Structure formats: C-alpha cells, structure tokens
Amino acid sequence: MKLWTLSKKEAQDILGNKIYLLVVLVQVFIILGAFGLALATSVISDPALLDQYGITSNIKVGVTQDLQGSQLAKDLEAQKLKLVYYNNTQQANQFLGRQLAAVITISPQGEVQVQLDNANVFYQVASTKVRTAVNNFQTRRTLQSSGLASEKIKAIQEPVTLTEVPVAENQKVKIAMDSAYFVEIMYGFIMPFILLLPFFLASNIVTDSIVGERERKTFEVLLMTPLSSIMVVLGKIIPILTFSLIQSVAWIFLLDLLQVPIYNLFLMIIILFSMGLGFIGVGILISILVDSTKEANSAITLVLVFATFILFVPLFIKSGMFQGIINFIPTVLMVKIASSPVIRPEVMIYILPTIVISIAVFLFTVRSFKHERAIRL
Amino acid sequence: MMNFTTITRWEFKNTLKSRKFLLIFFLQISVLFLMIVVFNSFAANLESEKGLSITPSLTGFATLDVEDQGGLFSKRLNPEVLTIQNSTYNQGMARLANGNIGGFFAVPSNSVALIQNNDRVATILYLDYRDPKRSVIRQEVNNTNQILSSTLTSAYLDSLKSQNNTNQPGITEKTSGESLPLQIVRKVMLAVLLFLPLFLFGNLVIDSIVGEKERKTGEILMAMPLSSTDIILGKSVAVVLTMALQVAMWMIILLGAGFQLKNAAIVYMTVVLTALPIVGLTTIIAAYAKNYKEAGIGLSFAYIFIVGLLIVPLLAYLSRQSAAANISPMTLTMRLFSGETIAPVDILLSFAFILILSLLSYGISIKLFSRDDVVFGPRPGIIRLALELLGIKKRRVLK
C-alpha cells in the first residue's frame, strides 16, 4: 500500500513533466522518419524495385542515331533504360552528367564505348543495368561469331535458371516492402533501436530521482517514511518502467501497423522488461552515487554512449570468432526473435544472461541505497 | 559615451576569461581532430571501390536448406546472412512446412554433368511466404545463381577465345564525375564542419541574456543609459566574434590537415556572416525564455530547423544543381571552397537571405527585449505576442 502511494506520486511527477511527454511524441516522428528513410533507400538501391515503381524510365542513356533499332539498343531497352538519340557522340556527351546517366556508342572498329556519370543519384542502378546490357550484347556477339545455334547461345548466356515456388502462399505475411535491404535494415537495426528508445529516455529521467531529492532537501523525509530500501527503489522503478514498457509495446503495435510484423510478443516483452530494469537500475544507481544533477547528467550520457556501443555495434560487425558472445547480446536476440515466426528453443538459453544481469543491477542498486541510507541516518 | 560596443567589450572579455569556456573551446578543437580522422577514413573507404555498406551484418538471420549433390551452389551461398543446412527433398520440404526454415533450394543432382555439357541447370527455390525474411533468402539465392552464371559464361567465352584466336572488338568503359556518396563525404561534411562552430555557442547567448534574468541583474542592465538595441546588438556581436575566432581556428586546422579550401577568405566571410542570423534567432529565444531549461528546449528545436534550412538546399544542389539552392549560404560556401565559378546573382541571393533573416530576427528580439512584460513577466503567450507584434491585437497595459 505504501509502495503504491510512492509509485503513484512518482507516476504523477513523470506525467506532469512536459518535456517527457514531448519526447514521447518526438519518438513517433523518429519512428515514422526511420521507416520512410528505410523505404526510400531500399527503392533507390534495388533495380527491381526501381523498375516496379517506374523510376527506371527516368534514367536516361544517350546513344547515337545509327544504333536505333540495333541489338545493343534492344539490350539496353530490355533493362528498362530510357534511350535518347543524338546525331553524334560529342552532342550526347554534352548532356552527360546533366540529363544523361551514361552515353553508349559503338566505334567504327566495333568497340562498345561506355561512359558513365558517377555523380548521378541512381548511379549504382544505372551502372549495373548498363553493364548488364552491354555484357549481354558482347557475349551474344562473340557466341554468334563462333557460329553457335541460338538455342545453345541462350543456354550459355544464362546457364542457371531459378524458379520460385511459394509455400503457404495463402498465409502470406504482409510486409511494407518485400525487399531484402528493407527487411535487413528494418529488423536488423531500426526495430531494436526504436524499441529501446523509451528505455534510453527512462534512464535519463531517473538520474535525478535520488540526487534530486537530495538537492531539494527531501531525501531525509523520504528516508524517514516507513518504507524499506527495496520498497523505495521499487517505488522509483515501477512507474517509469511501466511507462517505458507501455511505450515500447505501443511501438511494436505501430510497427505492426506499418506492416513490419513483430513475432513472439511474449518473449520480446521479457527481453524489453529485463533491459528496462537494467537501464533504469543503472540510472538510479548513478543518482545514488553522484553529488549533483549536473554530474548525474554527464555520467548517464557516458553510460548511454557505452551502452549504444555494446548494443548496436554487434549488429554491424562481421563476427566469426566473437559469434559465441554476440549471440547473447540482447539486441541480436531481439532481431532473431522478432523476425522469426518459429524460433528455435535454444534462444531461451541466450536470454538468460540478460535477465540475470538486469536482476543483478537491481539488487546492487538496492544495496547501494541501503548503504546511502545507513550513512544519512 | 556608452553604446553597444561597451557591452560587446564586457561580454567578450568575460567569455575569454572564463576557464570553462576555454575548456570547451579546446574540447571542440579536439573533437574536430577526431572528426577529421573519421571523415578521412570514410572517404578512403569509399574510394577503395569496396564502397560503404550500411547493411547490418547478421549471422544466421535467415535459414535455408539446400539439396545440392554437386556442391557448386551450396558453397557459394553467403553464410554471413544464411544459416545453410544440407538436406534431401523430403527432409527439406518437411522442415519448410513446419516453419523450421525459411526456404528450400533444390539443385538438380546432375548439375555438374549439365554444366560440362553446356546445358542449362534449372534450380528451384521453395520459399515460405509466412516468413517476412523471404526476400532476403530470395536475394541471396539469386546472387549465388548470378555469380555462378557469369563465371560459367566467361569460362566458356575464354575457352572459345583460345580455340578461335579471333580478334573480337571489346568494351571500353570510362567514368566521369565524383560519385554522390564521395561528394557527400568530401564536400558536405567539410561544409558541415565549417558551419559547426556556429551551433556550438548558442549557450553563450542564452547565458548572457537568460543569465541576466536568472541572476536578477537584468533590471540593472535595463536601468543603464543603453537602449535595448544596444544591449541585444552588443551581446550578439560578442558571440559572433567568439564564433569568428573559432571558425578561423577550425579553418587553419582543416587547411593544415590537407583539406582543399579554395577562396578561403570569402569562405570565411560567408560563414561568419551566417553567424549573424543564427545568433539573431537565438536571441529571440533568449529574450522570451524564462529560464535556462526553457531556452535549452527552444534552442534545440530552433537549431534543428536552422540546420535543415542550411543543409536541405545543399543536398538539393548536389543532386539537381538548381539555382534556388543557392539561398543557403552553406551551398555558396561549398561551391566557393570547391572552386566552382559562381554567377554574381547566386552570391547575391545567398547574402540577401542572410540580410533579410538578420534584420527580421534582430528586429523581433529587440522588440521583445524592450518589453518589460516579456523580460520580467507576467509573460504573454506566444500567439498573443505574435499578434501584437504584427499589430493585429493591441497590447494590454496594466494600470
């Protein structure tokens, strides 16, 4: 009951904090922004998607008049590039880098000359498409000159074919963009980042929970109340942990709404809860140890930079020998759990260290609080 | 005779004398050194053709079973993204149906023989559509097939060449222009570095105006034989001078680190002139804010807005070369230091933008600062204040 009173008071403090509410709102914009950015970059870097959205036809390639209707022109058009015809190479070259992403000509000796503009926004896609077209043309030309039958030429040009057979198509899961880059960046970085934002924020908010009481000279009053140390720490933790967990779960539903489905909700909540407990525990621990709010702010900034490093760098490094350790990192776990409809049971073992560490942080915080109390009273 | 130079002298001396400021000043310079190192390694990475990938590297992100007796395909699949397991058709399909794996890739058992005969190898990918990672598996399998395809084709062409010994005309490829990522790292980052000092001293403005309110010395300042114009301008000029000093040091360091900065004198002037409206906007916030906390929040939002205003036209210029992008002094600066020839109209546009924003921001902040209800309270709301400044509503006067 007393715990409830303290929790209620702390909760009111948090909800009365306009800046906190503002930052909660800002997070929604961060999520939508990151989502939009992921969509845009996926489209720009994926030739198939550019074709699908009809952007490829905006990539213009300059060719000379004499190539009209030629096999090379057909190969270029097969890549869905838009061809613009010029009287001669010089004329076409004038527009290279402005309207044209590339200029392609055939010299009198039969050499295919390709000029690419690196500065084009779609350079990556344009160069891939141009190179594919020119290589196709060149291969066919070589094979034809050696007198092979057209059936054989096709087999040599494309020695491997791939047929895709959908399984369980009627239970197809909808995803905002069925692109590899989008799925990788979304599950592999943006999702853990978004879901952990509320806890980064929470650990920032709680840093003044104890040192603030000390500065406002209300700490002694708090210690006089008939609450055990563990109850005081719990009373400080429960409201903010609840709020940030609610936010995090809300972001999960928001992602679901944006068609980035998050699987294994229950396991995800367990991980998020443990990480929240850890983050907030560290925040309160700092608050107990420092002398002023200013100091607490610098300390938590340092801790969060360190945490970002530990949590997010493993998502980007090619591991090898460290893989054994990386599997235990909670963000790596989140990626695997959130993106898989069916998970392997050994994942449960990987969660254990996260839970153990967060409980250890909590217990250590309570111990430090007891120590502080013993000094004060 | 007292005028704004008096205030400027005080403030500037105070700033330079403060130990904390000197500490921050040199801390910033060490941050600059760090950034130079990071940028250089970025640019080197981009130039080395490896490119810069920002794709997360997730070992075992997706799972795939493979039936490939020839082994040509399975050894080429990317183990950094896929967890690959060899299995038979029946096993693979069963695991796929249970949702244990995301896909099953079937290669004909006679694939090696087919390849030796120059016949087509038809592969099949069974893909679980219940898995959101299906596109990742599809792409990895596609990549493997393409790599194998082009290897086989070029091997065949090579053997053809050695047989026939004909002189087939080839392909030549030339590239022109700097790639966009490289331009962004080289030019945009340099422009950002040059403008960065303008955003590092906002707290000086806040300190010198809001500080007077918090320390309750504002009344004394107001009682001095100085107009509010003198006070605002005096304090602003002191901060602009500080920024000018820092920008000068940064430019010397950047030049020393081997960065190409053409037209250095005009570049310096443009950056310092841009400091005027930025400080001006900061003084508006400082004049209105009641305390440090409020000013801090206002400042964060204002700076996000200003940074957008500076950078967005710059990026637009890089991709489209549009003339309107010159409105941002950052675009002008970038074009100046990369040695482009610039039409006088473009320079004028940029300077006109600085001038208009400066006049507007200082005008508003002087107006605000001369009102004691804004400075000492009770403070009117922002909307009411805006309407009053525009002359739509009349100011309420307490009797």
Identify the pLDDT of residue B52.
Answer: 47
Of B132, B149, B169, the CB nearest to A175: B132
Identify the pLDDT of residue A31.
Answer: 92
Q: Calculate the CA A92 to chain-centre distance.
A: 41
For residue A180, list chain B residues with Cβ-Cβ distance below 8 A: 135-136, 138-140
**Inter-chain CB proximity A181 and B55 less than 8 Å:** yes
Torsions phi, psi of B102, nearest 5?
A: -90, -20
Identify the pLDDT of residue B48.
Answer: 59
**pLDDT cut 90: percent of chain B above it:** 28
Establish if B116 touches chain A: CB-CB under 8 angstroms: no
Q: Calculate the CA A188 to chain-centre distance.
A: 5
Of A143, A166, A315, the CB nearest to B129: A166
**Inter-chain CB proximity B125 and A183 less than 8 Å:** no
Judged against a pLDDT cut of 70, whether residue A149 lies above it is answered with yes
Mean per-residue pLDDT for A40-67? Answer: 81
For residue A113, list chain B residues with Cβ-Cβ distance below 8 A: 171-172, 174
Between chain A and chain B, the number of residue pairs with CB atoms below 8 A apart is: 208
Query: Out of 3.40.50.620, 3.40.1710.10, 3.30.2320.80, 1.20.140.10, which CATH number does the structure's domain B62-161 have?
Result: 3.40.1710.10
Torsions phi, psi of B123, nearest 5?
A: -105, 155
Q: Confidence band (pLDDT; 50, 70, 90) for A119?
A: confident
| CA-based nearest residue in chain A for residue B114 | A159
**Inter-chain CB proximity B59 and A96 less than 8 Å:** no
Per-residue pLDDT reduced to its tens digit, A86-115: 888 888 888 887 788 889 888 888 888 888
Residue predicted with more confidence, A71 or B323: A71
Identify the pLDDT of residue A222.
Answer: 85
Judged against a pLDDT cut of 70, whether residue A6 lies above it is answered with yes
Residue predicted with more confidence, A284 or A316: A284
Alpha-carbon distance of A236 to A211, in angstroms, equals 13
Which of A162, A190, A262, A321 is the best residue to mutate to test the B interface, defined by the most B CB atoms within 10 Å of its own CB? A162
Judged against a pLDDT cut of 50, whether residue A247 lies above it is answered with yes
Judged against a pLDDT cut of 70, whether residue B51 lies above it is answered with no
For residue A318, list chain B residues with Cβ-Cβ distance below 8 A: 57, 59, 80
Amino acid at B109: S
Residue predicted with more confidence, A106 or A124: A106
Judged against a pLDDT cut of 50, whether residue A180 lies above it is answered with yes
Q: Calculate the CA B57 to chain-centre distance.
A: 23
Is residue A34 a contact partner of residue A185, using CB atoms and an 8 Å limit?
no
Taking the CA of residue A60 and the nearest CA in chain B, the distance in Å comes to 15
Of B122, B136, B179, the CB nearest to A118: B179
Per-residue pLDDT reduced to its tens digit, B349-393: 999 999 999 999 999 999 888 887 777 777 888 888 888 888 887
Alpha-carbon distance of B285 to B205, in angstroms, equals 10
Identify the pLDDT of residue A275.
Answer: 95
Per-residue pLDDT reduced to its tens digit, A260-279: 999 999 999 999 999 999 99
Compute the mean pLDDT over every residue in chain A, rounded to the nearest whole number. Answer: 86
For residue A341, list chain B residues with Cβ-Cβ distance below 8 A: 99, 130-131
**Inter-chain CB proximity A119 and B179 less than 8 Å:** yes
Least confident window among A96-105, B156-165, B282-291: B156-165
Identify the pLDDT of residue A271.
Answer: 95
Judged against a pLDDT cut of 90, whether residue B44 lies above it is answered with no
Mean per-residue pLDDT for A30-45? Answer: 86
Establish if B172 touches chain A: CB-CB under 8 angstroms: yes
Q: Confidence band (pLDDT; 50, 70, 90) for B66?
A: very high
Judged against a pLDDT cut of 90, whether residue A135 lies above it is answered with no
**Inter-chain CB proximity A119 and B57 less than 8 Å:** no
For residue B178, list chain A residues with Cβ-Cβ distance below 8 A: 118-119
Identify the pLDDT of residue B381.
Answer: 80
Tell me the helices (H) and strands (E) count for chain A, helix number first: 17, 5
Is residue B260 a contact partner of residue B194, using CB atoms and an 8 Å limit?
no
Least confident window among A343-357, B248-262, B314-328: B314-328
Q: Confidence band (pLDDT; 50, 70, 90) for B236?
A: very high
| CA-based nearest residue in chain A for residue B95 | A342
Q: Which long-range contacts (CB under 8 A, 24 or more apart) does A88-91 make?
A: A88/A64, A89/A64, A89/A113
Alpha-carbon distance of A38 to A33, in angstroms, equals 9
Does the pTM surpass 0.90? The reply is no
Identify the pLDDT of residue A206.
Answer: 87
Which of A160, A186, A319 is the best residue to mutate to test the B interface, defined by the most B CB atoms within 10 Å of its own CB? A160
Give Cβ neighbours of residue A22 (< 8 Å, ≥ 6 apart).
Answer: B297
Establish if B167 touches chain A: CB-CB under 8 angstroms: no
Identify the pLDDT of residue B200.
Answer: 82
Mean per-residue pLDDT for A42-57? Answer: 77
Which of A134, A167, A175 is the best residue to mutate to test the B interface, defined by the most B CB atoms within 10 Å of its own CB? A167
| CA-based nearest residue in chain A for residue B127 | A166
Judged against a pLDDT cut of 70, whether residue A54 lies above it is answered with yes
Measure the N-to-C terminal CA separation of chain A; round to a whole number of Å: 24
Identify the pLDDT of residue B396.
Answer: 66
Of B58, B140, B174, the CB nearest to A335: B58
Residue predicted with more confidence, A2 or A288: A288
| CA-based nearest residue in chain B for residue A157 | B153
Mean per-residue pLDDT for B13-39? Answer: 79
Judged against a pLDDT cut of 50, whether residue A326 lies above it is answered with yes
Q: Confidence band (pLDDT; 50, 70, 90) for B81?
A: confident
Residue predicted with more confidence, A294 or B131: B131
**Inter-chain CB proximity A123 and B179 less than 8 Å:** yes
| CA-based nearest residue in chain A for residue B320 | A98
| CA-based nearest residue in chain A for residue B181 | A119
For residue A159, list chain B residues with Cβ-Cβ distance below 8 A: 115, 118, 120-121, 148-149, 152-153
Taking the CA of residue A186 and the nearest CA in chain B, the distance in Å comes to 9
Taking the CA of residue B106 and the nearest CA in chain A, the distance in Å comes to 10
- Domain locations in chain B as residue ranges: 4-46+180-389, 62-161
**Inter-chain CB proximity B149 and A167 less than 8 Å:** no
| B 209-248: CB under 8 A from A | none
HEC readout, chain B: CCCHHHHHHHHHHHHHHCHHHHHHHHHHHHHHHHHHHHHHHHHHHHHCCCCCCCCCCCCCCEEEEEECCCCCCHHHCCCCCEEEEECCHHHHHHHHHHCCCCEEEECCCCHHHHHHCCCCEEEEEEEECCCCCHHHHHHHHHHHHHHHHHHHHHHHHHHHHHHHCCCCCCEEEEEECCCHHHHHHHHHHHHHHHHCHHHHCHHHHHHHHHHHHHCCCHHHHHHCCCCHHHHHHHHHHHHHHHHHHHHHHHHHHHHHCCCCCCCHHHHHHHHHHHHHHHHHHHHHHHHHCCCHHHHHHHHHHHHHHHHHHHHHHHHHHHHHCCHHHHHCHHHHHHHHHCCCCCCHHHHHHHHHHHHHHHHHHHHHHHHHHCCHHHHHCCCCCHHHHHHHHCCCCCCCCCC
Q: What is the ipTM of this complex?
A: 0.86
Q: CA-based diameter of chain A, in Å?
A: 99
- A38: tokens are 């992921």
**Inter-chain CB proximity A111 and B171 less than 8 Å:** yes
Alpha-carbon distance of A322 to A310, in angstroms, equals 13
Of A168, A326, A335, the CB nearest to B128: A168
Establish if B170 touches chain A: CB-CB under 8 angstroms: yes
Judged against a pLDDT cut of 80, whether residue B183 lies above it is answered with no
Establish if B27 touches chain A: CB-CB under 8 angstroms: no
Identify the pLDDT of residue A319.
Answer: 58
Which of B130, B137, B144, B293 is the best residue to mutate to test the A interface, defined by the most A CB atoms within 10 Å of its own CB? B130
Of A159, A316, A339, the CB nearest to B121: A159
For residue B156, list chain A residues with Cβ-Cβ distance below 8 A: 156
For residue A183, list chain B residues with Cβ-Cβ distance below 8 A: 132-133, 135-136
Residue A84's SS3 state is strand
Identify the pLDDT of residue A347.
Answer: 82
| CA-based nearest residue in chain A for residue B129 | A172
Q: What domains does chain A contain, in order, with CATH numbers?
A: 2-43+179-376 (no CATH), 49-157 (3.40.190.10)
Is residue A177 a contact partner of residue A36, using CB atoms and an 8 Å limit?
no
Alpha-carbon distance of A79 to A125, in angstroms, equals 10
Exposure string for B181-191, b = 16+ CB within 10 A, e = fewer: bbbbbbbbbbb
Identify the pLDDT of residue A359.
Answer: 95
